[in-house]
Amino acid sequence: MMEEDKMAEEACEKLDFSANKGAETGASTLPRGEEQQAKSCSPGRISKLERDLLAVVTDIQAAADAKESKRREELEEARRIRSELLEKDVKSSQEKFEEITARWALAEQVVVPQELQETLKWQQLLCAELIEDKRKVIKDLQQELKRADHRYVKDLRRQAEELDLMMRRSEEVIATLTQAYREELDHIESIYQQEHDVLLTKDQTEWEQSLKEMWDQQQERLAERKKTVEEYEAKIHDLMMDPEYKYDAERADHFADIRVLEREHQQMLADSMISNVNYIKDKHDREIYNLSHMKSRILSLQTELKNLKSTCASSKKQSEKQSSCLSNDYKRSIEQYQCVQRRIRHFAVADARQFEETWRMLDKEVRQQAEKALLIDSIIYKQHLGLAWARPPGASAVDLSGPCNLRKRAGPEHGGAGMDEAAAASEEEEEVPLETMKELMELLCDELDFLTEDRLQLLETLGKKERNVVKLEALLHVFGMEEEDIPKLADFLLKYQQRQPAEGRSAGPVESGDKSQESATSSACNPNYILPALKDFLKHHSRFRSQASGQPRYWSADMWDSSSDEAYWESLASVITGDKLKVWDAAESILKKHMPDTWSLQVCQIFYRLDMAEKHHLGGIGNRCSINVEEQHPSWMSFPLTLSLRLSLYFLLLSVSMEFLLQFNTIPLDQGADASGFCPWVLRGLSRSYSGVNHFCSVLYTGNATNKM
């Protein structure tokens, strides 16, 4: 048993040792081998390492297990052997015990003490043997127990050792594993580092490469660009230079052409000059010839001049004589004129008086006629028709208004006595044409330079028109005149001019006025008359001015209430109304039957025509109508009532024409620029009306004359 135990132990130890050794060697060699394999397959290595190291530890457990099972086997074996031994022992001891018990029965039979003693001894021996056996067995068992104890202790020790070993190995395993893990980690890290490095280097190289490529590309592009730039520059240069060259060439060509042309031109010039020279020479020759001819003529003319001078001197003397004679004539004509004026004034006063008288007379007559007509009317009514007659309202008005009108009209007629010719002329201003006016103004400016000379030195630079305008202004300022007076001045000048040549003539103012009107428009003024005329005008102007404000005019509109006049006459005319006329007509027709009378018919006609004339006059053609009346029916002039009727008619017309005049006068003349354009028209209109009046006046005169005669 001991040997077996030992054997088993040894085997176990061997196994353990071998395992241990193997494990140790494995553990020791592994890392070295691992390091070599490290780079080939790390995960496998780690797992293998783990497994191997685990095996190193578990080997102990396995060994322990094996030992345990072996121990159990051994224990079982030992138990079996022990039990066999014990059984054997039990058997032998049983036999011995049986033998002893058998001997006890034998001993009972033995009576002999010696035998008994002998048997007892034998028994004793046997018992001792038995006890010895038992003791031996016990001793064996005790020894076994001791051995088992010993072995238990050993086992314990061994197990402790194993535990120690296991712990140690575990620690080793932990250490190696940690180291391995660390290595692994390092390895992984290094691999990652490497990968990282590789990637980095790769990326870097790629980067560099791409950079380089880009750089190259950029360079290439730059080079290309440079090249193109150069090309373009060259092109630009070419383009710039090309035209220049062309221009130069063309210029050179042009120069050449020009030179050629110049040369040609010069040649031509020379040619022409030569021809000219030749021509001039010819001309000169001819002129020389002419000159000689002329000289001879000059001589003849000089002689003629002498003759003429002598004649001139003689004619001068003659003209002086003439002029003195003419001045005398002039004086005389002035006197004549003044006389005529006086006469005219006188006539005018007389006319006025006559007019008044005539008017009164006419009025009276008309009243009487009206009264007569009314009477007739009343007679017709009362006697013929047998009706009650009432005096019509118009008839009563005739009585009232008549003296009133007369008184009113008497005022102005008294004042108008002291009016002179100039005032009359100014009243009847005529329309002066614009051109004439302009001419006059220019003339005025030219002639009266001396008045404004000191001031208008600087005006030389200006245009003619402006200069004239400025000069005119200055002149007006000097004269103390307004611009409105210009037409007056012009008119005056013209009149003056016309008057001067007409001085000598003894014709009436009416004719001369007519003529002057025509001549003024056509001919320009004589500069010689300007200065005296202006002097005259200024004189008149100042006087006129003072007069204009103070004295009432002769034919003033305020004085002559034509409308009332007209109404008056109308009222008188309409004393017998249309109805009454009809009544009359009826009465006449009845009467005619009784007394056919052509005279009354004529009266009726005249009245009718009078009405017509009035109507025509209102249409603005009164003068023509009146003339027509006069021309067509000269027969009614011989009518006993002619004078009064005529007068009434004339005054009617006169009043109308005067109305015209006043209308024109009322048109404002202070309209500046329009004045020059407007004035001639006004003047013309005035003259026309005036002439109309004159005409009527003449007719009146003739009528008077015929009446007187």
Partner 1 sequence: MSRLTGGPTMLTVESRRLRRIIAENPNWSLALVPFLSTLCLECIVRNFEETPIYEELTPSQRDFVQERLSPSLPLPVTANLVDDGVYWRRCCEQRWDICDVSHYGHSWKRMFFERHLENMIEHFIPETTPLKTVADEIPLCEAYVKRLDISQMLPPIKEAKVGIGENVDWLSETDSDAAHMEHYDFRNLLSMLRCLEEFHLTYWVKQCGMNFEWKMFEMAERDCETLSMALECCKTLKVVRLYESHIDDEKCKLLAKHLVEHSSLRELNLSHNVIGDRGAKAVGKLLSSSKLEILNMSDNIIRDVGANAIADALSNNCTLLSLNLRINRVSDEGGQAISKALLNNSILLHLHLGANLLTGPTAITLSEVLAKNQTLKTINLSCNKLGVDGGKALEEAITQNSCLRECDVRLTEVDEQSASIINQVVCNNKSASVTNQVVCTNESTSFINPVVCTNESLEQEEQPLDDEVQPQDDEAPSEAPTSTNST
Q: Map 324-337 to HEC letters.
A: HHHHHHHHHHHHHH
From the list 428, 425, 371, 417, the residue with the least C-alpha distance to 572 is 371
Q: Where are the alpha helices (DSSP H) in 448-529?
A: 449-452, 464-479, 485-503, 509-522
CB of 161 to partner 1, least distance (A): 19
Q: How far is the CB of 198 from partner 1 (least distance, A)?
A: 24
For partner 1, which residue of 14, 21, 39, 51 counts as binding (CB under 8 A)? 51
CA distance 429 to 508: 18
Q: Report in angstroms how near the CB of residue 61 gets to partner 1 at its nearest.
A: 9
Minimal distance, residue 6 CB to partner 1, in Å: 19
Q: Between residues 12 and 494, which has the closer beta carbon with respect to partner 1?
A: 12
Q: Pick between residue 12 and residue 629 the one whose CB is nearest to partner 1.
A: 12
Quick check: 68 binds partner 1 (CB under 8 A)?
yes
Which residues, 427 to 466, sit near partner 1 by CB under 8 A? none
How far is residue 502 from each of residues 9, 71, 137, 321, 690, measured CA to CA in Å?
196, 196, 218, 21, 20
Closest to partner 1 by CB, 65 or 233: 65
One of 62, 85, 141, 375 touching partner 1 (CB under 8 A):
62
Q: Of 597, 677, 585, 602, nearest to 639 (Cα)?
A: 602
Which one of the spans 41-49, 334-342, 349-357, 678-686 is the region binding partner 1 (CB under 8 A)?
Answer: 41-49
Q: In whole angstroms, how far apart are CA 670 and each of 122, 457, 633, 667, 674?
A: 211, 31, 46, 9, 8
Longest C-alpha distance within the chain, in Å?
A: 268
Does residue 418 belong to the site contacting partner 1 (CB under 8 A)?
Answer: no
Judged by beta carbon, residue 62 or residue 459, the one nearer partner 1 is: 62
- Total number of residues that touch partner 1 (CB under 8 A): 17
Can residue 80 be called a binding residue for partner 1 (CB under 8 A)?
A: no
Sole window of 63-71, 253-261, 456-464, 647-655 interacting with partner 1 (rule: CB under 8 A): 63-71
DSSP letters, 324-383, are: HHHHHHHHHHHHHHHHHHHHHHHHHHHHHHHHHHHHHHHHHHHHHHHHHHHHHHHHIIII
* C-beta separation of 110 from 116 below 8 A: yes
Q: Which single residue is written with the structure tokens 């008549």?
A: 402
Amino acid at 390: A
Looking at 66, 424, 510, 557, which residue binds partner 1 (CB under 8 A)? 66
Q: Pick one of 9, 34, 59, 377: the residue that binds partner 1 (CB under 8 A).
A: 59
Query: Which one, 10 or 271, has the nearer CB to partner 1?
Result: 10
Q: Which stretch binds partner 1 (CB under 8 A): 42-50, 151-159, 620-628, 683-691?
A: 42-50
Does 72 help bind partner 1 (rule: CB under 8 A)?
yes
Instruction: Show the tokens assigned to 40.
Output: 């080939």
To 5 degrees, how large is the angle CA 260–CA 262–CA 266? 120
Smallest distance, partner 1 to C-beta of residue 62, A: 5
CA contacts within 13 A on the Cβ side of 260: 5
Applying CB under 8 A, does 15 fall inside the site for partner 1?
yes
Q: Which position among 44, 411, 532, 552 is part of the footprint of partner 1 (CB under 8 A)?
A: 44
Does residue 47 interact with partner 1 by CB under 8 A? yes
Is there binding between residue 48 and partner 1 (CB under 8 A)?
A: yes
Helix (H, G, I), strand (E, B) or coil at 259: helix
Residue 702: strand, helix, or coil: helix
Q: What residue ranges bind partner 1 (CB under 8 A)?
A: 15, 43-44, 47-48, 51, 55, 58-59, 62-63, 65-66, 68-69, 72-73
